[in-house]
Amino acid sequence: MVWEYHRKFNAADAAEVARKCRAGELACVPDKQHLARALAAALAPIRERRERYARDPDRVRDIIADGCRRARAVAQATMEEVRSAMGLNPSAAPVR
């Protein structure tokens, strides 16, 4: 499992880590410590963005409300299309 994390989050060093591991030149604890540093670096921008949003809950609510509005418009258009295709649209003439 550790190897897969190296491939994803530590791609620059992954081949060397794999070589050393297979050759028995890399102990597990230093390997996992190295991986932990690589993961922390990869996740840093995500953590920073999360902190910004945590400091501004009103912005988060606005983003969610906007997403709901846009999703509702798409869902309504889809349901109109479905009802029309099934002949369930009350404003359309019945399909015979």
Decide: 60 and 53 in contact? Cβ < 8 Å.
yes
The Cα–Cα gap between 69 and 61 comes to 12
Indicate if the pLDDT at residue 58 is higher than 90.
yes
For residue 50, what pLDDT is reported?
A: 97
Given the structure tokens 């050393």, which residue do they identify? Answer: 20
Instruction: Report domain extents, the chain.
Output: 1-55, 57-88
The Cα–Cα gap between 17 and 9 comes to 13
User: pLDDT by residue (tens digit) across 17-54?
Assistant: 889 888 989 898 988 999 999 999 999 999 999 999 99
Q: Which residues of 54-70 are buried (b: 16+ CB within 10 A; e: fewer)?
A: eeeeeeeeeeeeeeeee
